[in-house]
């Protein structure tokens, strides 16, 4: 990955990435760090945070590692406070945390699961930005990680898809609310073989079917998602806000 990263668009900048110890979140933290950012990584477990921080530091990246379950108010506050305490500012926030605890049809999904999906996939982004908003400044950027499932929620993950649809609207609304100082955009990843999507991509038949739906004949990589996120977070996208970039190899999403 390092060979492909030649830009240094985040020199002197501080970026918070939630749920960033593996998968897409880790890829984003790595990409921002390789482009010069000091990255603040987080996830629910101390060991995961420590291991990820070691991997990033081995690549010369400045890292602050914080345990943060995004639905825990005190841990969210601590994530922002620790960042400000160490670096004195926040330039970029990437909201990546998500849960998909059910494959039930929407009308058969237990209330507790509906609550969890809303709490983590949508509400946590709002609450995190409520904590951070006063500390953002002119030229700052927020990137929300949604999903192509938000356009056409598949039956096997329908309610998850609906929460990702909500993020498209949230990105639009926050872009207006946080303008002109802070830009807000979304990335909608296609299917990426990570631990999160293992129940789909580890099945050869399903994987081949998913690959066949793309124009490029392959699933996405964490690097693909990180590249799009880095673009939107960077000054290269300084005149882009309220938009969603679909990174799905040509899988149909919209006109």
Quote the tokens at residue 111: 């209330």
Spatial separation of the C-alpha atoms in residues 61 and 102, rounded to whole Å: 36
**Beta-carbon contacts of residue 162 (< 8 Å; ≥ 6 apart):** 106, 150, 153
Per DSSP, which regions of 24-86 are E strands?
A: 38-43, 63-67
Closest-CA residue to 226 (of 46, 56, 51): 56
Q: Is 160 marked active-site?
A: yes
Spatial separation of the C-alpha atoms in residues 226 and 221, rounded to whole Å: 9
Catalytic residue among 87, 151, 160, 239: 160
Q: What is the sign of the dihedral through the CA atoms of 110, 67, 19 and 44?
A: negative
Query: Catalytic residue positions?
Result: 160
């Amino acid at each position: 990955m390092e060979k492909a990263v030649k830009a240094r668009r985040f020199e002197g900048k501080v970026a918070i990435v939630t749920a960033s110890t593996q998968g897409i979140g880790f890829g984003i933290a790595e990409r921002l760090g390789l482009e010069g950012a000091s990255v603040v990584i987080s996830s629910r477990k101390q060991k995961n945070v420590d291991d990820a921080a070691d991997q990033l530091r081995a690549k010369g990246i400045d890292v602050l590692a914080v345990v943060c379950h995004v639905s825990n108010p005190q841990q969210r506050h601590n994530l922002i406070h620790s960042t400000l305490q160490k670096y004195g500012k926040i330039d970029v926030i990437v909201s990546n945390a998500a849960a998909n605890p059910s494959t039930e049809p929407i009308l058969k999904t237990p209330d507790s699961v509906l609550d969890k999906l809303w709490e983590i996939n949508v509400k946590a982004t709002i609450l995190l930005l409520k904590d951070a908003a006063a500390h953002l400044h002119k030229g700052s950027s927020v990137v929300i990680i949604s999903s192509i499932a938000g356009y056409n929620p598949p039956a096997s993950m329908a309610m998850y898809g609906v929460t990702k649809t909500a993020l498209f609207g949230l990105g639009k609304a926050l872009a207006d609310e946080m303008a002109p100082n802070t830009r807000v955009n979304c990335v909608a990843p296609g299917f990426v073989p990570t631990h999160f999507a293992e129940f789909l991509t580890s099945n050869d038949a399903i994987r081949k079917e998913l690959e066949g739906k793309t124009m490029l004949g392959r699933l996405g990589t964490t690097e693909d998602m990180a590249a799009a996120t880095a673009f939107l977070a960077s000054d290269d996208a300084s005149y882009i806000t309220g938009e969603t970039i679909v990174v799905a190899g040509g899988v149909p999403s919209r006109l």
